[in-house]
Chains A and B, each alone.
Chain A
Amino acid sequence: MLCTFCELKTKVLSRQPQLLCACAAEFEAWLLFFRMAADNSVLLGLVEEFVSGQVDSKAAETVTGSALSLTSSQPQTRGRGVQLLSQVLQECYSSLSEKELEVLLAFYENRLKDHYVIIPHVLQGLKALTECSVLPPGSAVSILRSIFQDLHVQVNTFLKGLGADFIFGFVQSVDGERDPRNLLLAFQVARNIIHRGYGLGKFVEELFEVMSCYFPIDFSPVSTAVFQTASERVESAGLSAVSALVSCLSRSVLSSDSEDVLQVFLSLVLKDCQHHLCEPDLKLVWPSAKLLQAAAGASYRASLIVSAAVIPALLEQYNNRTQVRSLLMYFSLCLLHKHTEDSVLVAFQQSLCSVVFSALTESSAGLQVTATGVLTALGQQPGLLAQTDVEKAVDHLTRLILEEDDTKVSLAVVECSGSLAHLHPKAFISRLIPRLKEEILSGQSDAAVRQRCVTALASVSSLPSVVQESAPILLQVLASAHTGTHSFYSKISFLIIFSTLLFSYRSASRMASQAVSLFLDGDVSFLPENAFPSQIQLLQRKKQHLWDSSCHSFTSRQVEIPEIDRLLVQLEDLSCTCPHLFSYTSAAKCFAGLVNKRPAGEALDAVLERVMKRISVELENVSSAQRTQAFTLLLWVSKALLLRYHPLSTALTDKLFALLSDPALGSQVADGFCVLMSDSLDVLNRNCHADVRIMYRQRFFAENSTKLIQGFNSAEQEEKSCYLKALSHIVSNLPRQIQLTELPALLPLLLEALSCADQAVQLSTLSCLQPVLLEPPAAIRNQLEALFSRLLALTTSPVMKVRIASLQCVHALSRLPEHMVLPFRARVLKALAVPLDDKKRLVRIKAMVARGEWFLLGSPGGK
């Protein structure tokens, strides 16, 4: 064969060497060469070697003599070579055989790695090759792979230029593809095509057809491991491709006379998938369902179209078999969750409700659970559950609570009841609660049922109207709890209820007395702690907290709490002796809450005197283990008294100030000032009917600021930071006006605070400084040097928040009168160059903004 080739070559080269002819001759030679290579695997191997640059093969020798431009060292020459080859191919691609095509493809794909000058010609050649009818399977995909891998220029613009041809070629090549790895790539490419806005033009249908024939994916894997995950990935890639396509189509803009592309596409989808849903053997139900769900989930319009077609069909089929029921539930759930605007299911409201209810009576646990999910979702959207439906739902739920003992189902039922009760409390009050009450109090039902009832009662009690009904029942439950026969859960659920009693609530005296008596007398059965396992201890702690908050939160001042003295004593004991942080803190809070509401008089004074004595004793004893508890009690009682302007409050706060220098408690006390000054959420606020007088903060500050400053000045170096912390807590909680008027006196302290090493102090000082700097008082002019040095130093703090806050302050300073700050300009600009390169973006942005402002300062055109 090689001889024949040599003959050919000599024959060809013996022609008159006109330039064009020579080139043409050369390429005819190459073409012959390729033809032969296709028939002969040896030659094929030689071609491979050739293209990878090794020139010294036998076949190469025969043709190197003719100065082949394809292997020239000049990229331009190679480019011309490839260009001519591509042009030749464009003329004669239809006559190539499959093997020849393979060889040529290998050559071209390899050339993609070549110099960029050559690439356009390579792509042209590839384009010609892809139009061959005998394109081997998988080749299109491998072409695309090489393109995306090897090309570094803007592929997208080029491929978009190819436009419809590219899409068509792609569709053709994917058609019939079997290898899952190729399929994966094909789906990804399809997604890219859609997302990057290639004009799909008239090929939407074809694209869909070629994608959809892979659904449902029926996969018989050749080798299990690789292909199993591959099939899942292929499926999910395909589903997301469909989803992307639908969402893209939904957003497309239509001209007035063109047909709705989305409609067209979805009718194709539905045509293919719908009959599967109703087939007798239901083989392809779930894959079709997933496909439909992917399409419906992509946009609101799509969901309308899909649901209008699918739901009625499913509803019709409902009674025939279980699969359909689960399917329907699954569908509805998806549709309800995806779109929260006017629901797509309004048209099917009645039938859907009846279907859900009938599902709740089924025996399949999975179906019941899904049905409760659908019910919850239905309840949350307006207009989907009529009043009668709500009542039916409540009845179903009641029945399930009482009868269904599968744990998954009862959990789902409880959740459903909880969310529905929040939206439709009346139905629950009138139907669920009386039934459950009957069951609980009958004393005859078994423990599991009672537990479920109690848990359900707890979960529905999220609104005051419901709590009013359910709480007395649960109180009774707990009252009988001292016999120890009730399970742990009932107590917990009871406690959950009580935590919701933070709502304002009148006429609670009856409940208050019940609660208190339970607490006081019920205590006996729960102490001492040591004998009980940790679960009970946890329970006790929770109980304390919730008892406390309930006691003082829901009672107004007019409500008499029975045995209040006894209660106070107990709480005092608890808060001073209990080792658990949670318990003693909440006991202290409760005590404070009660003290705050107690009317003034001898009784109150007596209580206060007693408690102060106890606290002082405890605190003076430096080695006592309960100093922290005593301090906590002191703090909360001080707050209680401060809020109501009680005369004793001064004595207490003085004590707190004195404690700032205490070596052990100093920093806790400093943090405590935050508690003292800020609003606490669970106690001693207006929602809990506490006695709060207006402007107590300002009053406190006015009375104590000098004391604070004096204390600071006379304190030891190590203690100063505690004073500063306390100061920054106090000042940051003041209203802005006060901050502004007080600044002159405090400025030296604040500047000290800036150089304090404690980052919390720095941060709180910076945050109170910044608003003040926006409207700075005259006093600041004397402090500028110190201010600038400190602030600029903080711009390199290790804490991000501190850097940001100090940069904001520097920015604010640029607004001061020019004559005051201009001398600092150069220094600031230099210093701010450093945070421009900070590793956090948020810091860089602030630095940029500040530096920009400082550049404009004093510059022509700047301000």
Chain B
Amino acid sequence: MSGGTRLENANPLIFQRSGERRLTATDEDEDVADPIDDREIFDIFSKSINDPEHPLSLEELNVVEQMRVNVNDQESMVSVEFTPTIPHCSMATLIGLSIKVKLLRSLPDRFKIDVHITPGTHASEDAVNKQLADKERVAAALENSQLLEVVNQCLSSRAM
């Protein structure tokens, strides 16, 4: 989709995937409410978003880690930090956008979603963070059908 034949990060380090979340007794109890926690948010996008260059999930490339996800259910706030694999990764905006879109589609409207680059890991993190934080820009981006196509390709379900 980028059109180029050379990959930016041809030989990435691959990290281990975390296992499935364990079911507990309260999960199946009708009367107990399960709060939204970090693990749940992490599971939303970590395994199901493809990296644009490789057939690997963001988790496997350590672009996202559960530690860098923070959610506050009561205050309806979610914050996700992601780490591009190399400091000059040109796909950083795309990755960030995919995460943001995935969360927008998967969380209730009340949530305020903040997606940004882990500080110190990218050359133009300020610019990228600014774009991701701007609601109008994100909405405009999604109306661009080429960009939407690319994002959707990243989000297309993978066999797990």
Residues of A within 8 A of B (CB): 799-800, 833, 836-837, 839-842, 844-845, 848, 851-853, 855-856, 859-863
Q: Please report the C-alpha to C-alpha distance between residue A800 and residue B27 in the assembled complex, in whole angstroms.
A: 10
Which of A836, A840, A856 meets B27, CB within 8 Å?
A840
Q: Are B108 and A837 closer than 8 Å at their CB atoms?
A: yes
Minimum CB–CB distance from A115 to chain B (whole Å) comes to 23
Q: Using Cβ atoms and an 8 Å threshold, which residues of chain A touch B146?
A: 860
Q: Using Cβ atoms and an 8 Å threshold, which residues of chain A touch B148?
A: 859-861
Q: Are B108 and A839 closer than 8 Å at their CB atoms?
A: no
When A842-B28, A861-B150 are in contact, do A851 and B34 touch as well, CB less than 8 Å?
Answer: no
Stretch from B80-88, B133-141, B152-160 at the A interface: B152-160
Which of B28, B151, B157 meets A853, CB within 8 Å?
B157
Q: Using Cβ atoms and an 8 Å threshold, which residues of chain B touch A851?
A: 105-106
Q: Using Cβ atoms and an 8 Å threshold, which residues of chain A touch B30?
A: 799-800, 840
7 residue pairs A–B, Cβ–Cβ below 8 Å: A799-B30, A833-B108, A840-B33, A848-B105, A853-B157, A856-B156, A861-B151
Minimum CB–CB distance from B156 to chain A (whole Å) comes to 6
Q: Using Cβ atoms and an 8 Å threshold, which residues of chain A touch B44?
A: 848
* B11 interface residue per 8 A CB criterion: no
Q: Please report the C-alpha to C-alpha distance between residue A750 and residue B105 in the assembled complex, in whole angstroms.
A: 31
Minimum CB–CB distance from B20 to chain A (whole Å) comes to 11
B154 to A, closest residue via Cβ: A861
Q: Please report the C-alpha to C-alpha distance between residue A146 and residue B36 in the assembled complex, in whole angstroms.
A: 32
Question: 8 tightest A-B contacts by CB?
Answer: A861-B149, A861-B152, A837-B108, A860-B149, A839-B33, A841-B34, A848-B106, A861-B153
Q: Please report the C-alpha to C-alpha distance between residue A533 and residue B107 in the assembled complex, in whole angstroms.
A: 63
Q: Mark B22-45, 1 if CB is under 8 A from A, else 0.
A: 000001101001101000100110
Q: Using Cβ atoms and an 8 Å threshold, which residues of chain A touch B106?
A: 836, 848, 851-852
Q: Are B155 and A860 closer than 8 Å at their CB atoms?
A: no
Which of A841, A853, A855 meets B40, CB within 8 Å?
A841
Minimum CB–CB distance from B17 to chain A (whole Å) comes to 17
When A852-B155, A859-B148, A860-B152 are in contact, do A844 and B105 touch as well, CB less than 8 Å?
Answer: no
Which residues of chain B in 121-140 are interfacial with respect to chain A, using CB atoms and an 8 Å cutoff? none
Minimum CB–CB distance from A831 to chain B (whole Å) comes to 13
Q: Are B110 and A837 closer than 8 Å at their CB atoms?
A: yes
Number of B residues, CB within 8 Å of A: 28
* B16 interface residue per 8 A CB criterion: no
* B109 interface residue per 8 A CB criterion: yes
Q: Using Cβ atoms and an 8 Å threshold, which residues of chain B touch A837?
A: 108, 110
Q: Using Cβ atoms and an 8 Å threshold, which residues of chain B touch A833?
A: 108-109
* B2 interface residue per 8 A CB criterion: no
Q: Using Cβ atoms and an 8 Å threshold, which residues of chain B touch A848?
A: 44, 105-106
Q: Please report the C-alpha to C-alpha distance between residue A862 and residue B40 in the assembled complex, in whole angstroms.
A: 24
Q: Please report the C-alpha to C-alpha distance between residue A848 and residue B157 in the assembled complex, in whole angstroms.
A: 12
Q: Using Cβ atoms and an 8 Å threshold, which residues of chain B touch A852?
A: 48, 102, 105-106, 155, 157
Minimum CB–CB distance from B100 to chain A (whole Å) comes to 14
Q: Please report the C-alpha to C-alpha distance between residue A845 and residue B108 in the assembled complex, in whole angstroms.
A: 12
Q: Using Cβ atoms and an 8 Å threshold, which residues of chain B touch A859?
A: 148, 152
Q: Are B40 and A856 closer than 8 Å at their CB atoms?
A: no
Q: Are B40 and A844 closer than 8 Å at their CB atoms?
A: yes
Minimum CB–CB distance from B68 to chain A (whole Å) comes to 14
Which of A799, A800, A841, A862 meets B152, CB within 8 Å?
A862
Q: Please report the C-alpha to C-alpha distance between residue A853 and residue B157 in the assembled complex, in whole angstroms.
A: 8
Q: Using Cβ atoms and an 8 Å threshold, which residues of chain A touch B48?
A: 852
A852 to B, closest residue via Cβ: B105
Q: Please report the C-alpha to C-alpha distance between residue A461 and residue B138 in the assembled complex, in whole angstroms.
A: 72
B39 to A, closest residue via Cβ: A841
* Candidate in B106, B149, B151, B153 with the most chain A CB atoms within 10 angstroms: B106
Q: Using Cβ atoms and an 8 Å threshold, which residues of chain B touch A799?
A: 30
Residues of B within 8 A of A (CB): 27-28, 30, 33-34, 36, 40, 43-44, 48, 102, 105-110, 145-146, 148-153, 155-157
Q: Are A856 and B33 closer than 8 Å at their CB atoms?
A: no
Q: Using Cβ atoms and an 8 Å threshold, which residues of chain A touch B27?
A: 840-842
Minimum CB–CB distance from B102 to chain A (whole Å) comes to 8
Q: Please report the C-alpha to C-alpha distance between residue A860 and residue B150 in the assembled complex, in whole angstroms.
A: 8
Minimum CB–CB distance from B143 to chain A (whole Å) comes to 11
A856 to B, closest residue via Cβ: B152
Q: Please report the C-alpha to C-alpha distance between residue A800 and residue B30 in the assembled complex, in whole angstroms.
A: 6
Which of B34, B107, B109, B156 meets A861, CB within 8 Å?
B156
Q: Please report the C-alpha to C-alpha distance between residue A860 and residue B145 in the assembled complex, in whole angstroms.
A: 7
Q: Are A840 and B152 closer than 8 Å at their CB atoms?
A: no
* Candidate in B33, B43, B105 with the most chain A CB atoms within 10 angstroms: B105
Q: Please report the C-alpha to C-alpha distance between residue A487 and residue B111 in the assembled complex, in whole angstroms.
A: 70
Given A836-B106, A852-B157, 16 more pairs with CB closer than 8 A: A837-B108, A840-B27, A840-B33, A840-B34, A841-B34, A841-B36, A842-B27, A844-B34, A845-B43, A848-B106, A856-B155, A859-B148, A861-B148, A861-B150, A861-B156, A863-B156
Q: Using Cβ atoms and an 8 Å threshold, which residues of chain B touch A836?
A: 106-108
Q: Please report the C-alpha to C-alpha distance between residue A844 and residue B39 in the assembled complex, in whole angstroms.
A: 13
Q: Are B34 and A839 closer than 8 Å at their CB atoms?
A: yes
Minimum CB–CB distance from A62 to chain B (whole Å) comes to 48
Q: Using Cβ atoms and an 8 Å threshold, which residues of chain A touch B145?
A: 860
Minimum CB–CB distance from B32 to chain A (whole Å) comes to 8
Minimum CB–CB distance from A800 to chain B (whole Å) comes to 5
Q: Please report the C-alpha to C-alpha distance between residue A837 and residue B36 in the assembled complex, in whole angstroms.
A: 9
* Candidate in B34, B149, B150 with the most chain A CB atoms within 10 angstroms: B34
Q: Please report the C-alpha to C-alpha distance between residue A840 and residue B26 in the assembled complex, in whole angstroms.
A: 9
When A837-B110, A839-B33 are in contact, do A862 and B156 touch as well, CB less than 8 Å?
Answer: yes
* Candidate in A848, A856, A861, A862 with the most chain B CB atoms within 10 angstroms: A861
* Candidate in A800, A841, A848, A853 with the most chain B CB atoms within 10 angstroms: A841
Minimum CB–CB distance from B103 to chain A (whole Å) comes to 10
A839 to B, closest residue via Cβ: B33
Minimum CB–CB distance from B58 to chain A (whole Å) comes to 15
Q: Are A855 and B156 closer than 8 Å at their CB atoms?
A: no
Minimum CB–CB distance from A810 to chain B (whole Å) comes to 15
Minimum CB–CB distance from A574 to chain B (whole Å) comes to 40
Q: Using Cβ atoms and an 8 Å threshold, which residues of chain A touch B28?
A: 800, 842
Minimum CB–CB distance from B152 to chain A (whole Å) comes to 4
Q: Using Cβ atoms and an 8 Å threshold, which residues of chain B touch A840?
A: 27, 30, 33-34
Q: Using Cβ atoms and an 8 Å threshold, which residues of chain A touch B40?
A: 841, 844-845
B40 to A, closest residue via Cβ: A841
Minimum CB–CB distance from A812 to chain B (whole Å) comes to 14
Q: Using Cβ atoms and an 8 Å threshold, which residues of chain B touch A863?
A: 156
A835 to B, closest residue via Cβ: B108
Q: Please report the C-alpha to C-alpha distance between residue A606 and residue B156 in the assembled complex, in whole angstroms.
A: 67
Q: Please report the C-alpha to C-alpha distance between residue A852 and residue B101 in the assembled complex, in whole angstroms.
A: 10
Q: Using Cβ atoms and an 8 Å threshold, which residues of chain B touch A860?
A: 145-146, 148-149, 152
* Candidate in A799, A842, A859 with the most chain B CB atoms within 10 angstroms: A859
Q: Please report the C-alpha to C-alpha distance between residue A75 and residue B30 in the assembled complex, in whole angstroms.
A: 51
Q: Using Cβ atoms and an 8 Å threshold, which residues of chain A touch B105?
A: 848, 851-852, 855
Q: Using Cβ atoms and an 8 Å threshold, which residues of chain B touch A841?
A: 27, 34, 36, 40
Q: Please report the C-alpha to C-alpha distance between residue A861 and residue B153 in the assembled complex, in whole angstroms.
A: 5
Q: Using Cβ atoms and an 8 Å threshold, which residues of chain A touch B36?
A: 841, 844
Minimum CB–CB distance from B81 to chain A (whole Å) comes to 15
Minimum CB–CB distance from A848 to chain B (whole Å) comes to 4
Q: Please report the C-alpha to C-alpha distance between residue A497 and residue B149 in the assembled complex, in whole angstroms.
A: 68
A799 to B, closest residue via Cβ: B30
Q: Please report the C-alpha to C-alpha distance between residue A848 and residue B48 in the assembled complex, in whole angstroms.
A: 12
Minimum CB–CB distance from A49 to chain B (whole Å) comes to 39
Q: Please report the C-alpha to C-alpha distance between residue A837 and residue B155 in the assembled complex, in whole angstroms.
A: 21
Minimum CB–CB distance from A457 to chain B (whole Å) comes to 39
* Candidate in A800, A839, A851, A860 with the most chain B CB atoms within 10 angstroms: A860
B1 to A, closest residue via Cβ: A861
Q: Please report the C-alpha to C-alpha distance between residue A862 and residue B150 in the assembled complex, in whole angstroms.
A: 9
Minimum CB–CB distance from A850 to chain B (whole Å) comes to 10
Q: Please report the C-alpha to C-alpha distance between residue A853 and residue B48 in the assembled complex, in whole angstroms.
A: 12
Minimum CB–CB distance from B28 to chain A (whole Å) comes to 7
B105 to A, closest residue via Cβ: A855
Q: Using Cβ atoms and an 8 Å threshold, which residues of chain B touch A844?
A: 34, 36, 40
Q: Using Cβ atoms and an 8 Å threshold, which residues of chain B touch A842?
A: 27-28
